């Protein structure tokens, strides 16, 4: 029987469930257990934690979750790879080593370093944002390059049982294991693309096993949802499955939603080790809760890393309260405007600057739907007031003035969430590109430092030209909402939203594409797009009968800076699924 490698992912973000690792270790028959902890916002949180405590700066959940499983991991020979190191991988390794020593389980731990560029920032010149060209801010709290898989693979070759990294691309924890196990060349780009695809599918944990799935009613047992496992062959093809008896759902559509998640241009998904073309990837159900994926292609990578830096930009404060009763929406509008107006007047009297930004959302009135909102008669709304200002002192005053509305403004105001709101620093993301040679990669292993050399670069190749979706044939004389014809999922990258739309059947795709043009999506989602810089791109993926949309500048500043209730655009796909699609009557009749 040909060799396969089984890899399970136990974490999609810092704060994910503590139950996944035990589920996978006890029931997954794994070769590797991987954890992904680092979102863009996480690095700035960890940087702040380390400023307060020199031994902080890593995902402490990792050590807590792994400690009770150490003996089982050693007994089964499972190797562990995680980016839990955050901005202080060595402290993470020290904490885990202490846990191993206490449990008397002699696992060998390696640490990959080289992603942290914070000490070098003052020596970098001419750095500009990769999206809008603005210069590097004078003060950054973190700056980390997205490393690839070679350093992790080298640590595995040295004999590490556990590899801890700082910032690496999410899929690298899977790619490295596969390159190590199968001995693939770093120039075998098609296999590297398949490895990256395997990592991409499971990097968000239960999002490919029924979590966040459009057809949520079909997903059983959320309480015990299974976390994903990929079983990969030497040719790079793989199946996605989960522990027998666990909850959730693995189907072509649930996995396809994750395939398109946050990839932008599917013909040129840029990673440090390979540029992936996922446009021809095919998904095939292989049995209950098992889907096979193949067809990813790869091109040589660029000679640069993407770097995510975070920097402070004033302060933010968010207050929420309930307003109930007759004309709740009208009362909420007046009260929220009065609070902003009063505090702005107080700022002026003190000689302070006005608010930098104000965001008012009346939750329950379909405020996030813009012009598509349909609820105008609701008798209860949650007022969410979010504001930004250069001065912490000004927002402390704003926070203090909220409570007066309970006795001095409209009736029915109650339930100020969390009491007086707290003022926090507002952290923004700054993304740029840097030559790979600027990063000094090394592996710390059993008291020694091992230099990590990158594979020799190869000439870049132009990605394949985009393919137009098939044209419709026949007459559209009816319409149905998009959700009848497709599933969809939204994700984010910086200030951009990515919405993947997958046809439920291949014959639906031409009709979806006919209606769902970039211009139509701009009009439908106008309420979230920046009025000046907002735009929409669309790509067709023939392998999965799907369309991928990138909504540029649609998140009000992005996940860590936006004042919106939905700063990552997680609900955007749900809004798009209501758009009417013109179809022939015989298709519409299928849903009657």
β-pair partners for 382: 322, 363
With CA atoms as reference, report the closest residue to 203 among 304, 82, 41: 82
- Whether residues 261 and 352 share a domain: the answer is no
- Whether residues 278 and 353 share a domain: the answer is no
DSSP 31: S
- Whether residues 145 and 210 share a domain: the answer is yes
| Residues belonging to the chain | 592
- Whether residues 68 and 123 share a domain: the answer is yes
- Whether residues 508 and 575 share a domain: the answer is yes
The pTM of the full predicted model, rounded to 2 decimals, is: 0.96
- Whether residues 202 and 253 share a domain: the answer is yes
319 Cβ partners below 8 Å, 6+ apart?
383, 384, 385, 386, 398, 399, 402, 416, 417, 421
Strand, coil or helix: 175: helix
370 Cβ partners below 8 Å, 6+ apart?
526, 527, 528
- Whether residues 29 and 100 share a domain: the answer is yes
Phi and psi dihedrals of 583, rounded to 5? -140, 165
The answer as to whether 317 is a domain residue is no
The answer as to whether 171 is a domain residue is yes
pLDDT attached to residue 210: 97
The answer as to whether 418 is a domain residue is no
Q: What is the Cα–Cα distance from 371 to 280, expressed in whole angstroms?
A: 36
Q: What is the Cα–Cα distance from 8 to 22, expressed in whole angstroms?
A: 11
344 Cβ partners below 8 Å, 6+ apart?
354, 355
- Whether residues 336 and 482 share a domain: the answer is no
The answer as to whether 110 is a domain residue is yes
From residue 425, give the alpha-carbon distance in Å to each of 54, 83, 351, 392, 422: 20, 25, 22, 8, 10
186 Cβ partners below 8 Å, 6+ apart?
150, 179, 192, 273, 455
Angle between helices 189-202 and 172-182 in degrees, nearest 10: 130
Domain that holds residue 61: 4-308+431-451
β-pair partners for 111: 164, 444
Joined tokens for residue 542: 């023939």
**Dihedral (Cα; 575, 580, 584, 589), 10-degree rounding:** 70
> Which regions in the chain score pLDDT beneath 50?
none
Contact 261, 489 (CB under 8 A): yes
Strand, coil or helix: 407: helix
Q: Tell me how far the alpha carbon of residue 59 is from its chain's centroid.
A: 17
- Whether residues 403 and 491 share a domain: the answer is no
E-only strand ranges, 30-148: 32-35, 79-82, 109-113, 142-145
Query: Total structural domains in the chain?
Result: 3
- Whether residues 209 and 337 share a domain: the answer is no
Q: What is the Cα–Cα distance from 71 to 68, expressed in whole angstroms?
A: 8
DSSP 533: T
CA 496-382-371 angle, 5° bins: 50
- Whether residues 232 and 100 share a domain: the answer is yes
The answer as to whether 461 is a domain residue is no
Query: Residue 450 CB: number of other CB atoms within 10 A?
Result: 17
The answer as to whether 147 is a domain residue is yes
Write out the H or E segment, with its range, that includes residue 229: strand 228-233
The answer as to whether 469 is a domain residue is no
Residue with tokens 């909102």: 373
The answer as to whether 17 is a domain residue is yes
- Whether residues 119 and 207 share a domain: the answer is yes
pLDDT attached to residue 560: 77
With CA atoms as reference, report the closest residue to 279 among 543, 465, 591: 543
């Amino acid at each position: 029987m040909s060799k396969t490698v089984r890899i399970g992912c136990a974490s999609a973000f810092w704060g994910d469930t503590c139950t996944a690792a035990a589920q996978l270790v006890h029931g997954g028959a794994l070769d590797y257990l991987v954890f992904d902890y680092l979102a863009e916002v996480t690095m700035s949180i960890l940087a702040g934690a380390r400023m307060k405590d020199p031994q902080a700066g890593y995902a402490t959940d990792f050590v807590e979750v792994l400690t009770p499983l150490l003996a089982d991991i050693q007994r089964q020979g499972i190797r562990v790879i995680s980016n839990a190191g955050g901005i202080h991988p060595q402290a993470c390794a020290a904490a885990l080593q202490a846990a191993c020593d206490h449990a008397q389980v002699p696992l060998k731990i390696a640490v990959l370093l080289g992603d942290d560029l914070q000490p070098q920032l003052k020596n970098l010149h001419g750095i500009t944002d990769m999206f809008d060209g603005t210069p590097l801010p004078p003060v950054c709290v973190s700056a980390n390059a997205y490393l690839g898989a070679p350093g992790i693979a080298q640590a595995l070759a040295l004999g590490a049982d556990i590899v801890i990294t700082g910032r690496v691309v999410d899929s690298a924890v899977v790619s490295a294991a596969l390159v190590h196990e199968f001995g693939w060349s770093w120039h075998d780009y098609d296999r590297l693309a398949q490895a990256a695809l395997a990592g991409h599918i499971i990097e968000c944990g239960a999002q490919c096993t029924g979590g966040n799935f459009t057809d949520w009613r079909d997903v059983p047992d959320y309480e015990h949802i299974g976390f994903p496992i990929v079983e990969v062959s030497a040719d790079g093809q793989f199946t996605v499955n989960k522990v027998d008896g666990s909850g959730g759902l693995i189907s072509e559509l649930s996995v396809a939603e994750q395939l398109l998640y946050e990839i932008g241009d599917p013909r040129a998904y840029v990673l440090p080790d390979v540029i992936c073309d996922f446009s021809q990837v095919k998904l095939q159900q292989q049995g209950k809760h098992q889907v096979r994926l193949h067809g990813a292609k790869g091109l040589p990578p660029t000679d640069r890393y993407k770097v995510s830096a975070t920097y402070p930009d004033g302060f933010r404060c968010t207050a929420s309260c309930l307003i109930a009763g007759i004309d709740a929406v009208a009362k909420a509008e007046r009260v929220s405007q009065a609070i902003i107006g009063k505090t702005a007047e107080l700022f002026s009297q003190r000689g302070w600057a006005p608010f930098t930004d104000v965001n008012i959302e009346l939750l329950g009135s379909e405020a996030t739907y813009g012009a598509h909102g349909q609820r105008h008669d609701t008798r209860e709304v949650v007022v969410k007031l979010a504001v930004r200002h250069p001065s912490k002192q000004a927002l402390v005053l704003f926070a203090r003035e909220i409570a007066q509305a309970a006795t001095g403004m409209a009736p029915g105001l109650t339930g100020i969430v969390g009491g007086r709101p707290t003022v926090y620093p507002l952290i923004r993301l700054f993304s740029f590109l840097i030559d790979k040679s600027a990063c000094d990669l090394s592996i710390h292993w059993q008291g020694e430092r091992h230099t990590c050399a990158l594979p020799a670069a190869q000439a870049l190749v132009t990605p394949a030209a985009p393919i137009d979706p098939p044209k419709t044939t026949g007459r559209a004389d009816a319409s149905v909402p998009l959700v009848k014809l497709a599933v969809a999922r939204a994700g984010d990258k910086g200030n951009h939203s990515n919405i993947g739309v997958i046809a439920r059947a291949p014959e639906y795709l031409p009709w979806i594409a006919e209606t769902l043009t970039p211009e139509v999506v701009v009009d439908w989602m106008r309420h979230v797009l920046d009025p000046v810089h907002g735009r929409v791109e669309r790509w067709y993926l023939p392998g999965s009968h799907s369309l991928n949309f990138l909504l540029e500048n649609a998140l009000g500043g992005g996940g860590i800076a936006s004042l919106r209730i939905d700063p990552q655009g997680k609900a955007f796909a749900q809004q798009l699924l209501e758009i009417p699609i013109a179809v022939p009557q015989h298709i519409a009749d299928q849903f009657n």
